[in-house]
Amino acid sequence: MKLPTFREVATEARLLLIGIPVFIWTMVPIYHMFLFAISPKEDAFSGKMWPDHPTLHNFSIVFHQQHYFLRDFYIQFWNSVVIAAAVGALTLFVATAAAFSISRLKVPGGRVVMNLALFTYFIPAAFLAVPMYRTMGNYGLLNNHWSLILAMVTIASPYAIWVLKQASDKLPVELDEAAVMDGATTLQIFRLVYLPLMMPSLVAIGTYAVLLAWNEYLYAFLLLSNDQDITLPVALGNFLSADDSPWELLMTTGFIYALPPAAIYYAFRRYMVGGLTAGAVKS
């Protein structure tokens, strides 16, 4: 085995000097959340780096809904699941149809629609939230899951259309032409040629929309308010209104809530990094 040269060791040391602080910086809030989740109340409040008696008791309290704040835990978790799934499905439908129309069918004015869609992307999210809240009221959708679903589809779609259009443009036109020669209708081209080829990008976009909806706090907090209708992050926010918040339970619930997006992200990471950043560095 070749011994590393002094220069190699020095380079490695320099990289570690960056890598270790980066690791600590990234992990501390997440570790702190985990630490609270496995600590009995006394340990959590004592500032220990590791509890004397790590326990899963907090998880048991959450799963058995044995606290005033957790009365609706399962229904709120389910609300989050349903809303995220609906946002993923609807965004995919709306954005795929639009991208196919703009990129493959070259619909007149498609380019204009793309640019208009980008405009949504440039309205700061919290700014759009104010008039959107009132709009949902005017449509009679407040406190209805559809308000949050439609709001999140509105926010996810522009980026989705943009990424999908970039990917569509890379597919050779000859495929469509060959299919037309064989007598395929537009819908058959869409279903049999286009969708299968676009699968990796569709997975990336679907994941993106689901994560966006799952992690959303502001719109959920504004648009939904009944304990039975709210999603889990809003319920977590409501923990804070108490004077004596059960922080160890808050962190435990938060930890449970943070697991699915992390898992989904890692499951689809390959698609996401490629699919979502490809458009970004185009120019």
Partner 1 sequence: MAITLSGDQAIPGPPLSSRLTPAQVWGIALLAPYMLVFLAFVVYPVCYGLWLARQPASYVALYNDPVFARAAVNTLIFLVIGINIKMLIALFLSGFFAQQRTWIRWLSVIFILPWAVPSIPTILSVRFMLNPEWGMVNQIIFKLTGDDGPNWLNDPTVALAMAIGVHIWKSLPFWTLILITGRLAIAHDLFEAAEVDGASWWQKFRYITWPSMQTLYITCTLLSMIWTLGDFNSVYLLTGGGPADLTHVLSTLGIRYLRLDQLSLAMASIVCAMPFVLPLVYFMMKRLSR
Length of the chain: 283
Give, in order, the Cα–Cα distances in Å from 175 to each of 104, 178, 188, 194. 11, 5, 12, 9
| Nearest by Cα to 204 from 151, 262, 267, 116 | 267
Closest to partner 1 by CB, 38 or 161: 161
Query: Which member of 38, 62, 148, 150 binds partner 1 (CB under 8 A)?
Result: 150
Please identify, among the stretches 61-69, 164-172, 195-203, 257-265, the one whose residues bind partner 1 according to the rule CB under 8 A.
257-265
Shortest CB 98 distance to partner 1, Å: 4
CB-based contact 143:229 (threshold 8 Å): yes
**Window 123 to 142, contacts with partner 1 (CB under 8 A):** 123-135, 138-139
**Window 22 to 51, contacts with partner 1 (CB under 8 A):** 22-23, 25-30, 32-33, 36, 45-47
Closest to partner 1 by CB, 213 or 229: 213
CB-based contact 36:254 (threshold 8 Å): no
Query: Which member of 53, 64, 170, 269 binds partner 1 (CB under 8 A)?
Result: 269
| Nearest by Cα to 57 from 39, 34, 77 | 39
Shortest CB 32 distance to partner 1, Å: 5
Query: Which member of 73, 159, 257, 271 binds partner 1 (CB under 8 A)?
Result: 257
Query: Which member of 102, 164, 202, 230 binds partner 1 (CB under 8 A)?
Result: 102
Distance between CA atoms of residues 241 and 259, nearest Å: 24
Query: Which member of 84, 254, 271, 275 binds partner 1 (CB under 8 A)?
Result: 254
Q: Decide if residue 19 touches partner 1 (CB under 8 A).
A: yes
**Window 71 to 100, contacts with partner 1 (CB under 8 A):** 93-95, 97-98, 100
Q: Decide if residue 122 touches partner 1 (CB under 8 A).
A: yes
Closest to partner 1 by CB, 75 or 128: 128
Closest to partner 1 by CB, 74 or 137: 137
Site size for partner 1 (CB under 8 A): 93
Q: Decide if residue 271 touches partner 1 (CB under 8 A).
A: no
Tally of CA atoms within 13 A in the half-sphere of 185 that contains its CB: 2
Shortest CB 85 distance to partner 1, Å: 16
**Token reading at 252:** 């435990």
**Window 198 to 227, contacts with partner 1 (CB under 8 A):** 211, 214-215, 217-218, 222
